[in-house]
Amino acid sequence: MKRVRISRCATQLLAGRTPRRPSCPCAAGLQRDITPHDYRIQARSLSTVAIEKDSELDIGTPDPTSSQPAAAPAPPAIPHRKRLAPEQLPSPHPFAASHSTKLSALRARLSLHQRFPLQTLARTLVHPSADPDPAFNNASLSILGANLLGYYTTEYLLCNYPRLPIPVIFAAQHAYTGPKALATVASEWGIEAAAEPGGEVDPGLLQFRRLRSGSRVPAALRRQVPWKWNVTTTHRIVATDEFGSDNTPPDPQSLSAVPVPMEEAAQSFVRALIGALHLHLGSPLVKRFYRDHFLSRQLDLSTLFDFRTPTRDLSKLCAREGFEAPVARLISETGRASRHPVFVVGVYSGKDKLGEGAGASLEEARFRAAAAALKAWYLYRPIEVTLPSSMEGELDTRKWKPNMVDCGEVIV
């Protein structure tokens, strides 16, 4: 007897073919927005009876009598936007970042690793004023980057200069990572700003809503007048930013759809880039990037001091440390009877010279000598320094050496 092929006579009895199941729930969510088909779980029936409706299948329902644990729920779909025209989007679509030559040039100019995605780099350029959606702006990355910049700068200053007064530390932090410093860094990186944000703009441009000329600064960015109770150093350390300002810094997300100046958008980008680098590349590469672009700048800390009564401060310092009382002695002079005399005075504690200064009068030279002695004390720098962040992730902690901790500045 001749064998009959089943595919000829029994095809109408088999279940209808269903589309292939997507590889992951995230891809299923994206495909569901692109195509009108409704993907269902593909199942194979052990019977040859046709199944009219897929709803008759009971797939994925756990048996209450079974001892096996239930399957973990599927992860939520990634946030996405519907297929809209670029002109209808508040910021460029993430898929457009891979075709932007400006982003590729920026990544190469900053010597970033190829593992750092262009989509994340494009997100760091979107200020909340341009796109209020927190999934597409740089508000969260900016908060993380601000904390990292403050942490790295503070530990560098405190470990390398353990005797610095608190006001000088605030001024040094503002000089390294302040708003104007970050805006200058962004300008040196070649960041260009878009005239108006939108989905059709190149993702390599800084996206923010510009503050018109002559308009008033937003309330979130205005400097508040300090009250009588919030002008202390303790309040500036705990309740304000890392620069010791009088008011609390604004929340980046509070600037949504609010026109901001160029400086605010530029510093937000730099902070967001530091946060994105920490998430994608890790802390070692971020610290190297911070050292090359921030700590490489020359800052003369001796110019940040402003002594009002240096002679009294030096006397209190010598009394606290157990030194002999400072004595000012004239070292040399020239032109005492002329129109422009010069006096060189030194401050001594016993046989040790603490400082030296020159001035047009004996009083001025004595003040400068006392100020030089105080700067020599406060700008002391240890030879070997171990930063706390260098021990992150280290299995061998024997390399750690405790740093010097000074008792603080002189309080008069």
Per-residue pLDDT reduced to its tens digit, 183-215? 999 999 999 999 888 888 999 999 999 888 777
Per-residue pLDDT reduced to its tens digit, 53-112? 444 434 334 444 444 444 444 444 444 565 677 777 888 888 889 889 999 999 999 999
Phi, psi of 342 (to 5 degrees): -135, 125
If you average pLDDT over residues 252-267, what whole number do you get?
Answer: 86
pLDDT of residue 22: 47
Residue 218 Cα distances to 210, 223, 239, 251, 259, angstroms = 12, 10, 21, 13, 8
The domains of the chain, with CATH numbers, are 6-89 (no CATH), 98-303 (1.10.1520.10), 311-378 (3.30.160.20)
pLDDT of residue 400: 83
Residue 275 has pLDDT above 80, yes or no: yes
pLDDT of residue 408: 81
Higher pLDDT: 298 or 220? It is 298
If you average pLDDT over residues 356-379, what whole number do you get?
Answer: 95
Higher pLDDT: 47 or 254? It is 254
pLDDT of residue 392: 81
pLDDT of residue 58: 41
Instruction: Tell me the pTM.
Output: 0.75
pLDDT band at 227 (very low <50, low <70, confident <90, very high): low
Per-residue pLDDT reduced to its tens digit, 117-136? 999 999 999 999 999 888 89
* Residues in Cβ contact with 318 at an 8 Å cutoff, skipping those fewer than 6 apart: 324, 325, 326, 349
Q: Please give the Cα distance from 142 to 273 (Å, whole number).
A: 8
CA angle 77/81/87 to nearest 5° reads: 170
Q: Please give the Cα distance from 92 to 358 (Å, whole number).
A: 61
Sheet holding 327-334, edge to edge: 327-334, 342-349, 352-359
Residue 310 has pLDDT above 80, yes or no: yes
